Structure 1
Amino acid sequence: MFNTLDDLPPEQRVLVRLDLNSPIEDGVVQDNRRFERHAETVSDLAEAGHRVVLMAHQGRPGDDDFVSLEGHAAILADHAGVDVGFVDSTFGDPAIEAIRDLGAGEVLLLENTRMTDDELPEKEPAEHADSAFVSTLAPEFDAYVNDAYSAGHRAHASLVGFPLVLPAYAGRVMVSEYEANSAIATREFEGDVTMVVGGTKATDVISVMNAIGDKVDTFCLGGIAGELFLRAAGHPVGRDVGDMALFDDQWEKNHETIEALLEERGDGIELAADLAYEDEAGDRAEVRVEAIDEKDRPYLDVGSETIAVYEPTIRESDAVFVKGALGLFEDERFSTGTVGVLEAIADTDCFSVVGGGDTSRAIEMYGLSEDDFSHVSIAGGAYIRALTGEPLVAVELLKTE
């Protein structure tokens, strides 16, 4: 499927694309799972004696998180166990000079790719291959490694231009993410397949449900999508209240699809039996869905009765895929749904994929171990596209068959 790092000839000059896009607080990049994951690719290349030059992006022009990658180099070095140099140039003379000065086993991080005008426009790969960015850097290298699966749906120069002009290889993250995230479309499971669906981006997860419904035996719903499905089932929820504007617009865009899914796959869609909210004393309270006459407050999690129904379904599954949190898990009062599902998965020996940065954060926050899951994805939009079977342009360019 891919040529990997194990296929690289010795002593190569290697250009590597990572995805180090991370939260920025007060102008300072924050450590996260992406650095840890990409460190394996970086350290493997350095230990093999290659000359390693890294590219990555951070934010977009005009946004608060559009900053230099200088701070990223230090964090990556800590995780990889190798020195990571930095040059504040992407493909200018300082970058070229620093690249040519590299010795075997040394690592250099170039400046934010999105600080060059050639990077961001969505173009055909052949157009990007002809850009000054690609045509200037490519002659300095023997090979290109793409490890940025989570950006694989972007037709940006650093992702799709270099594979046309250099021998292309998949990094460790690219291989593991591809295999896990495409499993629902490519693997056959002996038992039931369950998908836990939540989060705030209901439009995304509803498109996944519509695309792969025939591959999933049971959907367990929470989050915004869960309330929208309850609304379609005739309950007075799934509507905006107060300052919250998450439901009505997504309902208008998706209600026909939701209604069709309930009609066609109703037996395979488990809806919340109860919901949790903040009471007047600031505590968690729960109410059965059937007892709700009108929505007069935000609901911030599924209830305990709901989790008691979802857990046996998960424990009896051969495979479980998670996309989105079932509640506002960052607030411990409303973590019951998300953590309950993750604990149930962790207690089984099923094949499991937890996707999306927000949901995967709950694993660390609540003391669970990544080792109890088959794969914890660092991809967001790319994970959605993989689940729906949509090709990822930068990934497709790496394939050898």
Structure 2
Amino acid sequence: MFKTLDDIGSGKRVLVRLDLNSPVEDGIVKDNRRFARHARTVRELVEAGHRVVVMAHQGRPGRDSFVSLDQHADLLAEYVETPVAFVDDICGEAAIDAIRSLDAGEVLLLENVRMCDDELPEKPPEEHADSEFVRTLAPEFDCYVDDAYSAAHRSHASLVGFPLVLPSYAGRVMQAEYEANTSIANREFDGPVTMVLGGAKATDVIDVMSALDDEIDHYLLGGIVGELFLRAAGYDVGYDVGDGELYDHQWENNEARIRDLLAERGNRILLPVDLAYETDDGERAEIPVEGVEKTQPLLDVGSQTVERYADVIEESAAVFVKGALGVFEDERFADGTVGLLEAIATTDCFSVIGGGDTSRAIELYGLDEEYFSHVSIAGGAYVRALTGQSLPAVEVMAQDDC
């Protein structure tokens, strides 16, 4: 599909696109696994004697998370284990001067690329390639490396413009994510393939289920989508209570699709048999779905559901996860998500853990990533890969050598 770092050679002027987008609290950029993942690509380029210039984004205009990348330079440097210089400019005179002053093995991070007016509009690659942003920066480089798989579903200038004017290559994150996240379509497994589906974005999950049919033997549902399917099956769940706005609008948008999926694949769709809620004294309690009268939020699947799902996982050759089964940020309601992750970790199967929330649970509860075949740092791009949709930044990458 694309060439990788193995094809570049050495001693080049390389423009690298990373995704370092991170949580920001009180103006402080928080460390996350993206820095460690992308550091491998940057470090490999440094060791090959390249002059490395990094582009990345942070937040969106108008949001509190839309801040400078000056803190990102220090965080990235810790993982690359080499200094990362920062310039408060993207494609102006200061940036060009800083780029031209780089020596072999040095790294420079440009300012938040979304502060450039040319970056954010969704346009065809050809239009982005002709933007002032791309036309100004491209002549300063020998080639372009895209490592930002988690942003690959965006048709933004820094992602799709440069590959049309520079020889382009996939970084190690891009390479690993693409191979793992397309494996449902591109690999054959010697045994059942199971998908664990949850989270708050039920429409995304339903899109995945609609796009995949014969490839999946078992669907294990939880979270918002689990309740919506239970509602379609006749249980008193899957609607908003109090101030909630998670269920009813997604039910209205997807009711017909949910009922169709249950009718067509009911023997392959496993629904929760019990659910957890918070008692008046703040404790976790569980109740069978047959006995639920929803008067308060249901925050996790129950222990019987975890056991039932774990049995399916243990017999699976491959397991793909999209979304959490409960509100795992609260330790009382992490049993479903963590229990299933532990079952996957102890099963000899190919496993891909996708979606930002689910991968965050691995970190939060001290699970070892090495027990999974791949832990994705992508959200939207992961969903698009599973549903067979195009990823503009992947499709546009050139095939020529540097």
Q: TM-score, normalised by structure 1?
A: 0.99
Say whether 1:382 aligns with 2:349.
Answer: no
Task: Say whether residues 1:68 and 2:83 are aligned partners.
Answer: no
Q: Amino acid of the residue matched to residue 323 of structure 2?
A: G
Residue 157 (structure 1) aligns with = 157
Q: Distance in 1 between matches of 2:92 and 2:31?
A: 28
Aligned partner of 2:319 in structure 1 is: 320
Identity fraction in percent:
69
Alignment-mate amino acid for residue 37 of structure 2: R
What is the letter of the counterpart of residue 70 of structure 2?
E
- The correspondence of residues 104-119 of structure 1 with structure 2, limited to 5 A, is 104-119=104-119
Q: What secondary structure is seen at the aligned counterpart in 1 of 2:267?
A: helix
Whole-Å Cα distance in 1 between the matches of residues 30 and 195 of structure 2? 31
1:37 and 1:372 mapped to 2: Cα distance? Answer: 17
Which residue number corresponds to residue 195 of structure 1?
Answer: 195
Measured after TM superposition, the shift of residue 397 of structure 1 is 1.3
Residue 204 of structure 1 deviates from its aligned partner by 0.5
Partner Cα distance (1:3, 1:197) in 2: 32
What amino acid is the match of 2:209? M
- The residue that corresponds to 1:100 in the other structure is 100
Equivalenced residue count is 400
Tell me the distance in 2 between the aligned counterparts of 1:245 and 1:170. 40
Q: Which amino acid aligns with 1:94?
A: A
3-state SS of paired residue (2:321): strand
Describe how 1:7-18 pairs up with structure 2 within 5 A: 7-18=7-18
Give the counterpart letter for 1:231 in structure 2.
Answer: R
Question: Following TM superposition, where does structure 1 have runs of at least 4 consecutive aligned residues deviating by more than 6 angstroms?
Answer: none
Give the superposition deviation at 1:213: 2.4
Cα distance between partner residues in 2 of 1:93 and 1:323: 44
Equivalent-residue separation in structure 2 for 1:28 and 1:133 (angstroms): 28
User: What secondary structure is seen at the aligned counterpart in 2 of 1:243?
Assistant: coil
Which residue in 2 is equivalent to 1:338?
337
The separation in 2 between residues aligned to 1:308 and 1:213, in whole angstroms, is 25
Mean Cα deviation higher: 134-143 or 391-400: 391-400
Shift in Å at residue 9 of structure 1?
2.5
Q: Which residue of 1 aligns with 2:23?
A: 23
Match runs of 1:22-171 below 5 Å: 22-171=22-171
**Which consecutive residues of structure 2, in runs of 5 or more, have no partner in the other structure?**
none
Q: Could you tell me how far 1:244 is from its partner in structure 2? A: 1.1
Q: Secondary structure at the match of 1:85?
A: strand
Structure 2 partner of 1:174? 174
Give a deviation string over 1:263-294, Cα, whole Å, max 9, x none.
000000000000000001100000000112x3
Q: How many Å separate the matches in 1 of 2:277 and 2:214?
A: 34
Distance 2:21 2:258 in 1: 33
Give unpaired runs (5+ residues) of structure 1. Answer: none
Task: Show the counterpart of 1:290.
Answer: 290
**Which shows bigger deviation, 361-370 or 144-153?**
361-370
How much does 1:70 deviate? 0.3
**Deviations for 1:287-320, whole angstroms, at most 9, x for unmatched residues?**
000112x311100000001111100100110000
Code of the aligned partner of 2:95: A
* CA spacing shift, 1:164–1:356, aligned 2, 3 Å: same
One-letter amino acid of the structure 1 residue matched with residue 128 of structure 2: H
Does the 8 Å contact 2:303/2:336 carry over to 1? yes
Q: 1:172 & 1:378 partners in 2: Cα distance? A: 13
8 Å contact kept, 2:4–2:171: yes
Task: Using the TM superposition, give the Cα deviation of residue 400 of structure 1 relative to its aligned residue in structure 2, in angstroms.
Answer: 4.0
Which residue of structure 1 lines up, in the alignment, with residue 257 of structure 2? 257
CA displacement 1:317-356 (0-9 Å, x = unmatched):
0000000000001111000100110000000110000001
User: Does the CA contact (< 8 Å) of 2:362 and 2:369 recur in 1?
Assistant: yes
| Residue 211 (structure 1) shift | 0.6
State the distance in 2 between where 1:353 and 1:399 align.
Answer: 27
| 2: CA distance, partners of 1:8 / 1:126 | 24
For 1:144 and 1:18, how far apart are their aligned partners in 2?
11
Question: For the Cα contact (< 8 Å) 2:277–2:300, is it kept in 1?
Answer: yes
Contact 2:163–2:398, Cα closer than 8 Å, also in 1: no
Q: Which residue does the alignment assign to 2:305?
A: 306
Rounded Cα–Cα distance in structure 1 between residues aligned with 2:325 and 2:213: 19
Deviations 1:71-129 (A, max 9, x none): 00000000111110000000000000000000000000000000010000011101000
The one-letter code matched in structure 2 to 1:373 is: F
How far apart are the structure 2 equivalents of 1:279 and 1:206? Answer: 31
Q: Quick one: distance in 2 between partners of 1:263 and 1:80?
A: 52
Deviation, 1:233, is 0.3
Deviation at 1:399, TM superposition (A): 6.1
Aligned equivalents of 2:115 and 2:98: distance in 1?
A: 18
* TM-align CA RMSD: 0.9
**Correspondence for 1:363:** 362
TM norm structure 2: 0.99
Alpha-carbon distance in 1 for matches of 2:124, 2:307: 49
Distance 1:290 1:10 in 2: 64
CA contact (8 A) 2:222 2:271 kept: yes
Pick closer, same or farther for the CA change 1:221–1:175 going to 2, 3 Å.
same
